[in-house]
Amino acid sequence: AVRGAIPVVRPDRTGPNRYGTKSFVYHSDSRTSQAVKDAFQEKLANELKGRMLKVTTLEDWPLSYTERINGTLIGRGVAFEMLEFLMEKFKFNYTLVMPEHNIVGSSDDMDGSIIELLANEKADIAVAFLPILADARQHILYSTGLDEGEWMMIMIRPLESASGSGLLAPFDRDVWILILVSLLAVGPIIYGLLVIRYYLTKDSEQVRYTLPHCIWFVYGALMKQGSTLSPTGDSTRILFASWWIFITILTSFYTANLTAFLTLSKFTLPINNAEDVRRKSSPFVTIRGNAIEYAIKNSDEALNSLSFLVDKHLVEFTTNLNDSDILMTTVAKKNYVYVRDRPAIEHLVYNDYLVRRKVNPINERSHCPFATATTPFLKRVRAFAYPNSTRWNALFDPQLLNMVEGGLIKFKLLENLPKAEICPQNLGGTERQLKNRDLVMTYLVMLTGFCTSIAVFFSEMFARIMNERKLAKELKELNGPGLKLPPEKITYLSKGVSDSPPPPYAEIFSRHTSGMIGAKGMFGSQIVTDGDAARQMINGRDYMVVKEKNGIGSQLIPMRAPSAAIFQYTYTN
């Protein structure tokens, strides 16, 4: 038993406790024993018994909100379940005193806030999960920390992952740029090395391919097509083989990564944290007067880097307290990011999922049109709050600490949620069906190819018309104005004078021999030359090369009698 009167006690501000708040430890003027503390708390409990406390709160579903029952405003949510536990233990009642505005408040935003009610002692306790703000400590006293609040981001689920999809997904942009550079550079490099080798070695047996041949070889190897080029020099062969090895490795990596992206890749969002919001200047919306607004407007906070978005009107601090309405209008229609604390986001997504599943139970992917980022936008310890002159924190804080350490608050926050994660980023699924957006690059390649071929076709037609006009002008000057050239007619069966179809070995003609070295040519050797005709062995077959009537170009005539009969020429040995 304690003899005499209970000694006078005074609150002593100590350093931050385990939750980051400054707790009050009660000391007596003499050495305080546990019995004295118990007696003091018993006296406070007797004073509190039957008292009507003035309680203020926030409309912050599901943590704290109000309902009007029979004309009386009643508090609901996790915060008021904790208050009911305190009411049951200490036998007191409460009446609600709501702030003029549904905001926490700060030193620069006091009007109509919870902090104003507590600072003016118009409320005895704030029963809500209030973020602990540094500049608010001079006005109010925080309780034991209840939890570490996390504010998350929810947004429209993108059609494709931020890591990419389709044909371009296996490599990033830098790799594709380097592949394009190598494709454009290797052809001229090979041609240049061939020219250098020819002039250094003076090898008459070497075939010096033209620049178009080298470029076509590089492109054909990239597409895994064969090549008719057969270099004779060892250094040239090593050069060609090096490009083949490079392409083999590159295409193997591409095929493997493309398969992995289409089957095993995880879905990622384009915005995952506050830094992504700042870097991409992404617009977002959040509740007016919560921790996000004060963290952005406080120059000492890390989120102050987002203040330029407020100046650009890319941040909306809404007074609309209906989360579903914000999700359907601002997020779905305006493509904003919604920043809200984790319990509200989880309940919002779960309720939206239940509604959509009831409307369309078959299509699973339509149940989750929204996606939540996994990285918190902001973390802040949350607690109840009292006026600075309060005495009731000596009774309430130990009980709140017991609830925290016993896991009761964490259990209450997750009580009405399923154990499985609802609408995760990666929805999964057993099948991965390709959609049109996965094949967009294929369509673009085909469209680009067709457009390029059409452009080249018209350029060829234009060049042919110009060449014909130039040729006609030269022949007119050479043969006189009275001579008219008959139109060139290609036929195979008529008995009149005609031209043969284009030969398959065009490189042996004079107009195509600029890319070859040596008199023997690329495909065969000349055997007999007689006037306007020359007998030549090509790939083991005997042909006669005959000049055209107009003196431009040549024709290739097989020497065997059955095949030569279709041509209107007669040859004698």
Q: Judge contact between 510 and 554, C-beta under 8 A.
A: yes
CA distance 544 to 501: 14
**pLDDT at position 572, please?**
43
Is the model's pLDDT at 465 over the cut of 80?
Answer: yes
Q: How many CA atoms lie within 13 A of 270 on its CB side?
A: 16
In one letter, which amino acid is 388? N
Residue 495 phi, psi dihedral angles, 5° rounding: -90, -10
Contacting residues for 110 by C-beta, under 8 A, at least 6 apart: 116, 119, 139
Task: Tell me how far the alpha carbon of residue 185 is from its chain's centroid.
Answer: 31
Q: Span 250-278, mean pLDDT?
A: 83
> What is the SS3 assignment for 514-542?
HHCCCCCCCCEEEEEEECCEEEEEECCEE
β-strand partners of 22: 16
**pLDDT at position 299, please?**
86
Contacting residues for 197 by C-beta, under 8 A, at least 6 apart: 203, 206, 233, 235, 236
Is the model's pLDDT at 78 over the cut of 50?
Answer: yes
**pLDDT at position 559, please?**
72
Contacting residues for 407 by C-beta, under 8 A, at least 6 apart: none
Contacting residues for 224 by C-beta, under 8 A, at least 6 apart: 247, 251
State whether the Cα torsion 98-104-109-115 is positive or negative.
positive
CA distance 561 to 21: 107
Is the model's pLDDT at 548 over the cut of 50?
Answer: yes
- Mean pLDDT lowest for which of 96-100, 191-195, 220-224? 220-224
The conformation of residue 166, written as its DSSP 8-state character, comes to: G
**pLDDT at position 434, please?**
67
Q: Span 368-381, mean pLDDT?
A: 92
Q: Judge contact between 380 and 18, C-beta under 8 A.
A: no
Q: Judge contact between 125 and 339, C-beta under 8 A.
A: no
How many other CB atoms are there within 10 angstroms of residue 412's CB atom?
Answer: 18
**pLDDT at position 480, please?**
62
CA distance 103 to 319: 9
**pLDDT at position 266, please?**
67
- Mean pLDDT lowest for which of 186-190, 289-293, 423-427, 493-497? 493-497
From residue 365, how far is each of 124, 279, 356, 368, 437 by CA, in Å?
49, 30, 10, 6, 17
| C-alpha dihedral (377, 378, 382, 385), degrees to nearest 10 | -110
In one letter, which amino acid is 112? G
Cis-peptide, bond into residue 502, ω within 30° of zero? no
Q: Judge contact between 24 and 44, C-beta under 8 A.
A: no
pTM reported for the whole predicted model: 0.64
**pLDDT at position 260, please?**
78
CA distance 548 to 261: 59
Contacting residues for 184 by C-beta, under 8 A, at least 6 apart: none
CA distance 194 to 196: 5
**pLDDT at position 499, please?**
46
**pLDDT at position 496, please?**
44
Q: Judge contact between 103 and 367, C-beta under 8 A.
A: no
Please choose, from the candidates 215, 169, 160, the residue with its C-alpha nearest in 3D space to the C-alpha of residue 189.
Answer: 215
Please choose, from the candidates 129, 119, 145, the residue with its C-alpha nearest in 3D space to the C-alpha of residue 291.
Answer: 129
**pLDDT at position 267, please?**
72
From residue 33, how far is each of 25, 40, 46, 180, 393 by CA, in Å?
13, 11, 20, 81, 19
Give one word for 71, left, alpha or beta, with left for phi > 0 and alpha for psi -120 to 50. left
Pick 5 or 545 by higher pLDDT: 545
Query: Hey, is 22 helix, strand or coil?
Result: strand
> With bands split at pLDDT 50, 70 and 90, how would you rate the model's confidence at 363?
confident
Pick 342 or 222 by higher pLDDT: 342
- Mean pLDDT lowest for which of 28-32, 44-48, 92-96, 427-431? 28-32
Average pLDDT over the chain reads 80
Query: What counts of helices (H) and strands (E) characterise the chain?
Result: 16, 18
Please choose, from the candidates 112, 96, 114, the residue with its C-alpha nearest in 3D space to the C-alpha of residue 104.
Answer: 114
Pick 267 or 95 by higher pLDDT: 95
How many other CB atoms are there within 10 angstroms of residue 191's CB atom?
Answer: 20
